[in-house]
């Protein structure tokens, strides 16, 4: 997680630091929020993962790796501010569940799917479910795909219309999206892949990346449109662009929704679990959750 990203999505972020002698062994960026008088530590909006990053010494023996991670996280947790409410999604791969449970936090799991981009394009395509391969081939004849940064408002509109049909509130505003999108463009780590049929936008995928991974950040299809082939084609395009870019993995930023999970699973990735830390010691916040 980069400082400029935190500036774009947080109101009041800070950082806890663990040191091994004079060397930084870990950092934990956090966003201390306050709502209706309650202090909260939550994953920032428009951010899939939060939590600590541990930097392992190059000469660290494998048998000492887990203990080094444990001690680094303990040191950082001691620096975190007091908050009655926690809801933090950890990075995939962090498995210190016992540490967090012993600290009084509830620990649940979510899942994502990681696609290893060290394979050839032919191998990646052969790993797709057969029906998905057919849809992608058909979509490549039906739609044109290009990066269109100006489509951010259309993406928000399609999302909003889809959520309204489900009676679900949008968790962020168009202003929030545009602010982050501008910063991503400044730092050259974002694309809005748009599938068009003539002048009609069928679907959009917002793809972001860092040095190691490329992410399916968010996406939407045109409501009530005949666009079911567009989204697979956009994701496949994002995967291939990530491989060309030199990313090691493509992260689907998965879902616990059965339908979405099945769709992501069809791309042949490996299921990866990540921890979600929860705590609620606020009566006011408990009441708020009840009436949501």
Nearest to 47 by CA among 105, 107, 88: 88
Contacts of 109 (CB under 8 A, 6+ apart): 273, 274, 275, 276
Taking the CA atoms of residue 66, residue 44, residue 46 and residue 90 in that order, the dihedral angle to the nearest 10 degrees is 20
β-partners of residue 86 are 41, 279
> Is 194 in contact with 144 (CB distance < 8 Å)?
no
Q: For 208, phi and psi rounded to 5 degrees?
A: -120, 165
Contacts of 187 (CB under 8 A, 6+ apart): 2, 4
Identify the CATH number of the domain defined by range 3-109+274-291.
Answer: 3.40.630
User: In the CATH hierarchy, which top-level class contains the domain 119-247?
Assistant: alpha beta
Taking the CA atoms of residue 49, residue 106, residue 69 and residue 77 in that order, the dihedral angle to the nearest 10 degrees is 90
Q: Domain extents for the chain?
A: 3-109+274-291, 119-247
Q: What is the rounded distance in angstroms from the CA atom of residue 263 to the CA atom of residue 5?
A: 29
Quick check: helix, strand or coil at residue 202? Answer: strand
Q: What is the pLDDT along the chain (292 residues), one digit of tens a residue?
A: 799 999 999 988 999 999 999 999 999 999 999 999 999 999 999 999 999 999 999 999 999 999 999 999 999 999 999 999 999 999 999 999 999 999 999 999 999 999 999 999 999 999 999 999 999 999 999 999 999 999 999 999 999 998 998 888 889 999 999 999 999 999 999 999 999 998 899 999 999 999 999 999 999 999 987 778 999 999 999 999 999 999 999 999 877 777 788 899 999 999 999 999 999 999 999 998 888 6
Q: What is the rounded distance in angstroms from the CA atom of residue 53 to the CA atom of residue 64?
A: 17
Nearest to 195 by CA among 230, 224, 156, 219: 230
Interstrand relation of 213-221 and 249-251 (parallel, antiparallel or unpaired): parallel
Q: What is the pLDDT of residue 292?
A: 67
Q: For 149, phi and psi rounded to 5 degrees?
A: -60, -25
> Is 211 in contact with 242 (CB distance < 8 Å)?
no
Q: What is the pLDDT of residue 253?
A: 86
């Amino acid at each position: 997680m980069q400082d400029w990203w935190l500036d774009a999505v947080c109101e009041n972020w800070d950082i806890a630091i663990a040191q091994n002698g004079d060397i930084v062994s870990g950092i934990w960026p956090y966003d201390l929020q306050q709502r209706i008088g309650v202090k909260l530590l939550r994953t920032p909006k428009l951010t899939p993962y939060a939590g600590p990053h541990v930097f392992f010494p190059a000469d660290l023996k494998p048998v000492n790796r887990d203990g080094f991670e444990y001690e680094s996280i303990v040191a950082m947790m001691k620096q975190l501010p007091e908050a009655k409410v926690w809801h933090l999604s950890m990075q995939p791969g962090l498995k210190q569940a016992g540490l967090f449970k012993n600290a009084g936090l509830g620990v649940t799991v979510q899942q994502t799917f990681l696609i290893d981009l060290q394979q050839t394009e032919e191998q990646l395509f052969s790993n797709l479910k057969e029906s998905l391969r057919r849809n992608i081939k058909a979509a490549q004849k039906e739609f044109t795909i290009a990066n269109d940064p100006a489509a951010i408002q259309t993406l928000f509109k399609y999302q909003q219309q889809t959520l309204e049909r489900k009676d679900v509130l949008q968790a962020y505003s168009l202003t929030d999206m545009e602010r982050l999108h501008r910063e991503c463009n400044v730092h050259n780590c974002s694309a809005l892949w748009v599938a068009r049929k003539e002048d009609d936008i069928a679907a959009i995928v917002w793809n972001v990346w860092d040095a190691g991974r490329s992410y399916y950040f968010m996406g939407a299809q045109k409501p009530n449109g005949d666009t079911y082939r567009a989204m697979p084609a956009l994701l496949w395009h994002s995967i291939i662009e990530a491989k060309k870019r030199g990313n090691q993995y493509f992260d689907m930023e998965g879902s616990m929704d059965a339908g979405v999970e099945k769709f992501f699973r069809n791309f042949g990735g490996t299921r990866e679990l990540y921890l979600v830390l929860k705590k609620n010691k606020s009566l006011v916040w408990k009441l708020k959750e009840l009436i949501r």
